[in-house]
Structure 1
Amino acid sequence: MPERTDWEAKARGLVRAEMARHNVTYSQLVERLESIGVHEDERNLRNKVSRGKFTAAFLLQCLSALGATKLDLG
């Protein structure tokens, strides 16, 4: 199994941090994504976030669904 890169870990961390900040579970994120037209099931969402391997578009969709308005890349 290939090792996770720093960038993948950062992407995963961004999504998880916003989920924690907004007190949103994976199942709630699935519902929020659904409301903006993104169809994911909870298992696939968990796997994507856990791996940190997803497109920039998916990252933006998650952040938008979570209500994030600013992004700190520090």
Structure 2
Amino acid sequence: MVSWNDKVKRLLKSELVKRGVSNTDLAILLNEIGVHETKASIDSKISRGSFSACFFIQCLSVIGCSKIEIEELESSILIAAEPSVEYYKKSSNGN
């Protein structure tokens, strides 16, 4: 079963590593935009993986990440998908 906390934690950590940003650097960057976090509070949030979407977006924003790729879900999860049926739209002339 997918642990969503682990998934989001890995996603944030990988974006930080890609950019060479430490948790200390992240605290400084967040404080520069008025988000008051310490290195210890960031360590704790990332370790748990249970932080708000707001915190996640703030972190991605200050490190310059404007696009993320979410890894494939584990095969044990079923996902509903659009049927592979073509839909035909009648034209205004009746065809």
TM-score by length of 2: 0.70
> Any idea what the Cα deviations from partners look like across 1:40-70, whole Å, max 9, x if unmatched?
0111110000100111111000111111011
Looking at structure 2, the residues matched to 72 and 36 of structure 1 have their Cα atoms a distance apart, in angstroms, of 25
Question: Mapping of 1:14-33 within 5 angstroms?
Answer: 14-33=11-30
Which structure would you say has the larger Rg?
2
Aligned-CA RMSD value: 1.0
Mapped partners of 2:14, 2:33: distance in 1:
20
Percent identical among aligned pairs is: 36
TM-score (norm 1): 0.89
Q: Does 1:58 align with 2:88?
A: no
Unaligned runs of 5+ in 1: none
Partner amino acid, structure 2, of 1:27 = T
Task: Find out whether 1:70 has 2:72 as its counterpart.
Answer: no
Which structure 1 residue ranges, 4+ long, deviate > 2 Å from structure 2? none
Tell me which of the two structures has the higher relative contact order, counting C-alpha pairs closer than 8 angstroms and 6 or more residues apart: 1
**Deviation string for 1:10-57 (max 9, x for gaps)?**
111111001100001110000111111110011111000010011111
Gaps of 5+ in 2: 72-95
Give the aligned length. 70
